Amino acid sequence: MVHYLDHAATTPVRPSAVEAMVPLLTEQYGNPSGAHRMARAANRILDDARETMAEVLGAKPGEIVFTAGGTEADNLAVTGVLDANGGTALCSAVEHHAVLDPVEHHGGVSIGVGGDGRLDLAELEEVLTQTGSEVSVVSVMTVNNETGMIQPLDEVIELTRRLAPRAVVHTDAVQALCWLDLSTATAGADLVSVSAHKFGGPKGVGCLVVRDGERSLGFEPLLRGGGQERGRRGGTHNVAGIAAMAVAAAETHRQRAVHVPRVAALRDRLADGILADVDGAIETGTRADKTANIAHFCFPGIASEALLILLEKSDIMASAASSCSSGAMDPSHVLAAMGYPRDLAFGSLRLSLGYGSTDADVDAVLAAVPPAVARLRERG
């Protein structure tokens, strides 16, 4: 039996989402940009999905821009604003590379974090005080994809509004929708990214909220070509994927109040067991400030790659860091920003649960991790 503890990397597609997709791939396959009745039917499906995503995200339907996933949504947010308005971008040092790389590409600045992984608000305030008139976009993720730490987004928005009034705030909420009500958690942000495969939808589809109103700066598309999405994102719509994303988002939103406390209890038992049974284990961040699903550790004296191989032999699927990183097992930039030394960062382990996780999954991990770590330490 496989014990899947890598839900932060991707989730199984919900049966309801699969059910929504199949007829749109085999029977109702019209292109929504066309004029005939099959095209019009596809366009109505898009409209319904747009309304659903808007309701879940606390936005207006016209503010939803469908994308090919979280990476495109993040790049569109950062580059779309900078291409239209110039200026510079700020982000946290623990952002996903889908934000960090475009910010660095455009000569932006990353803001440090504390040892718990939360943004250093004093540093952000200092940078905004010095450069606020030049800043066009501030991007701080809602939840960190490696540690599960919830970032102080409300405080980021307040500082940005006060010290960089022309800037917009973007948040990468890709890891958050399962665990937080984004209609409130990201209500003050101008741009919000989500990705379907993190909450039971298919891979290759996501969306970006681009809020209307007086705070919005100009916005340039990354993809030009057909004028879709009100000219903000060209390309034929993935109707089946978009419909499935909306179904998964609505189901996740409805079930959140039930799943969050159950998964949190599983995570706490998992984390407490590892801390009790593995000498020297370090749990990163502060559990009270994390989402319910992620337990993240550093183990002195081992290498993550070897640990993951041993765990896989016990049918446990886990990860060391973001699954969007390169195949090379480099130490996590997130842990480096948090101040962890390189040798300790090489021994990290992320165990992430989902709505389908069970006590049996936790039991399997608690049986496998302590002897695996001990075995690797014996090898030196």
Distance between CA atoms of residues 114 and 93, nearest Å: 10
Q: Which among 102, 205, 119 is positioned nearest to 156, based on CA atoms?
A: 119
Q: Across 93-212, where does the E strand assignment appear?
A: 109-111, 135-139, 168-172, 191-195, 206-210
Instruction: Kindly list the strands in the beta sheet with 206-210, ordered across the sheet, starting from the edge strand earlier in the chain.
Output: 64-67, 206-210, 191-195, 168-172, 135-139, 88-92, 109-111
Q: 348 with 217, same domain?
A: no
Q: Which among 173, 139, 143, 133 is positioned nearest to 156, based on CA atoms?
A: 139
- pLDDT averaged per 10 residues in sequence order, the chain, 380 residues: 97 98 95 93 97 98 97 97 95 98 97 97 97 95 97 98 96 98 97 98 98 75 90 95 98 97 98 98 96 97 96 96 52 93 94 97 98 93
Judging by DSSP bridges, how do beta strands 282-283 and 206-210 pair with one another? unpaired
Q: Which among 241, 216, 219 is positioned nearest to 229, based on CA atoms?
A: 219
Residue 214: per-residue pLDDT: 52
Could you confirm whether 324 is annotated as catalytic?
Answer: yes
Q: 240 with 277, same domain?
A: no
Q: How many helices (H) and strands (E) does the chain have?
A: 12, 12
Q: Which of 193, 215, 250 is the last residue of a domain?
A: 250
Distance between CA atoms of residues 177 and 195, nearest Å: 9
Q: Which of 189, 218, 250 is the last residue of a domain?
A: 250
Helix (H/G/I), strand (E/B), else coil: 139: strand
Q: 51 with 94, same domain?
A: yes
> CATH no. for residue 186?
3.40.640.10
Q: 77 with 122, same domain?
A: yes
Please give the tally of structural domains in the chain: 2
* CA-to-CA dists, residue 34 to 28, 30, 67, angstroms: 13, 8, 19
Q: 364 with 293, same domain?
A: yes
Q: 265 with 235, same domain?
A: no
Q: What torsion do the CA atoms of 304, 310, 313, 319 make, to the nearest 10 degrees? A: -20
pLDDT in tens, 147-206: 999 999 999 999 999 999 999 999 999 999 999 999 999 999 999 999 999 999 999 999
Amino acid of residue 47: D
Q: Percentages helix, strand, coil for the chain, rounded to the nearest 5?
A: 45, 15, 40
Task: For residue 224, give every residue at least 6 positions away whose Cβ sits within 8 Å of its Cβ, in sequence order, or none.
Answer: 234
Q: 272 with 243, same domain?
A: no
Tokens at 103, concatenated:
């910010």
Q: 64 with 148, same domain?
A: yes
What's the domain range around 271?
3-10+256-379
Q: 164 with 211, same domain?
A: yes
Residue 329: per-residue pLDDT: 58
Q: Which of 213, 231, 250 is the last residue of a domain?
A: 250
Q: Check residue 150 and report its DSSP letter.
A: B
What's the pTM value of the predicted model, to 2 decimals?
0.95
Q: Across the chain, where does the E strand assignment appear?
A: 3-4, 64-67, 88-92, 109-111, 135-139, 168-172, 191-195, 206-210, 282-283, 294-298, 316-317, 348-352
Of residues 91, 178, 207, 324, which has the active-site annotation?
324
Q: 183 with 61, same domain?
A: yes
Task: For residue 133, give every residue at least 6 positions away whose Cβ sits within 8 Å of its Cβ, in sequence order, or none.
Answer: 164, 166
Residue 218: per-residue pLDDT: 81
> CATH no. for residue 364?
3.90.1150.10
Q: 338 with 190, same domain?
A: no
Q: 246 with 289, same domain?
A: no
